[in-house]
Amino acid sequence: MPEGDTIHRTANALRPWLIGEMVRSAWGWDDWIDAPSIAGHVVSAIEARGKHLLLHLDDGRTVHGHSGMTGSWHIYPHGESWQKPRRRAALVLETNLLSVVFFNPKTLELLTSAQFRRHDYLARLGPDLLAETIDLNSVVARFRNANHKPIGEAVMDQTLCCGIGNIYKSELLFLKNIDPFSSVADFDDDALLDLFELARDLMQYNLQGPKRTTRFEGDGGKLWVYGRSGQPCFLCGTEVHISRQGDLGRTTYWCPQCQDRAERQVPTNPNYRDSNFT
């Protein structure tokens, strides 16, 4: 599953080649959308919202793509061979200069302006942690409505805030010594604000690429815990654990020693785990 910074990088890569460009021809396999109707139109804007990529057309329609686990956007100069089979191309937009190809999407829709405005899921998305400006206090307020949730699930809930996937979830919670199974209610507003500021900083840093990292020492390791189950924690040597979390069974990597609940302040209300704070 791509993280929010993946989609922002994709948007940044596509903009110079597509914005203001006329789509000469458009097609795709498996009839995801009426691709040929895009031909003759100009891409007026490209937007990343969390893990969603939006290509706005000059006639008010919007191409909405979500990559899911397998999707990816590629750019190919005409005549260059593709890295994936053509039958995996759900959408191909050809301009005078190149082809933009969306392979293996989870979601691909062509929305009218009315459908875009009323889009149920897009409308419910929380603030994007990589938006140019963001009021992180409004993100904290959203999390207060999810006080009962384990924090490892809440940070992945794109209706609370957009952009955090499995990798950032694991890394952020490790960096803040947070037990992924503790409730949002365990944390005061300042602690949450601190967590979102770190998320935004790391994702902004990684927009530059080339390889995502949350570690800045010289030992070559890019990530603290993600993908390292069974290996020693870089800080304490304890084996990094992997657990499944939430209804979708998302993977969480964590160090049971460094992310021990007992090391943090917990609320005095003994019933907080059973309470629904909404």
Q: Tell me if 90 sits within 8 A of 204, measured CB to CB.
A: no
List all residues 6 or more positions away from 48 whose beta carbon is below 8 Å from its beta carbon: 4, 7, 8, 10, 11, 54, 128, 130
Round to whole Å and give the CA distance between 229 and 159. 29
Binding region for Zn ion (CB under 5 A) out of 125-133, 183-191, 208-216, 237-245: 237-245
Round to whole Å and give the CA distance between 172 and 168. 6
Please tell me which residue in 51, 149, 200, 212 is annotated as part of the active site.
Answer: 51
Round to whole Å and give the CA distance between 271 and 267. 10
Round to whole Å and give the CA distance between 110 and 129. 25
236 lines the binding site for Zn ion (CB under 5 A): yes
258 lines the binding site for Zn ion (CB under 5 A): yes
By C-beta, is 202 or 255 nearer to Zn ion? Answer: 255
By C-beta, is 22 or 235 nearer to Zn ion? Answer: 235
235 lines the binding site for Zn ion (CB under 5 A): yes
Round to whole Å and give the CA distance between 121 and 168. 22
Please tell me which residue in 144, 176, 222, 250 is annotated as part of the active site.
Answer: 250
257 lines the binding site for Zn ion (CB under 5 A): yes
231 lines the binding site for Zn ion (CB under 5 A): no
Q: What is the number of the residue whose Cβ is closest to Zn ion?
A: 233
Q: Is 3 a catalytic residue?
A: yes
Q: Which of 63, 233, 241, 252 binds Zn ion (CB under 5 A)?
A: 233
By C-beta, is 21 or 239 nearer to Zn ion? Answer: 239
Binding region for Zn ion (CB under 5 A) out of 9-17, 21-29, 159-167, 236-244: 236-244
Longest CA–CA separation in the chain, Å: 66
Binding region for Zn ion (CB under 5 A) out of 45-53, 142-150, 200-208, 256-264: 256-264
Helix extents (H) in the chain: 4-18, 113-117, 120-124, 136-144, 151-154, 166-175, 189-206
255 lines the binding site for Zn ion (CB under 5 A): yes
Q: Tell me if 51 sits within 8 A of 7, measured CB to CB.
A: yes
Q: Is 250 a catalytic residue?
A: yes
Q: Rounded to the nearest whole angstrom, what is the least distance from the CB of residue 255 to Zn ion in the complex?
A: 3
Rounded to the nearest angstrom, the gap between the alpha carbon of residue 29 and the centroid of all alpha carbons in its chain is: 26
User: Site residues (CB under 5 A) for Zn ion?
Assistant: 233, 235-236, 238, 255, 257-258
User: Which residues are marked as active site?
Assistant: 2-3, 51, 250
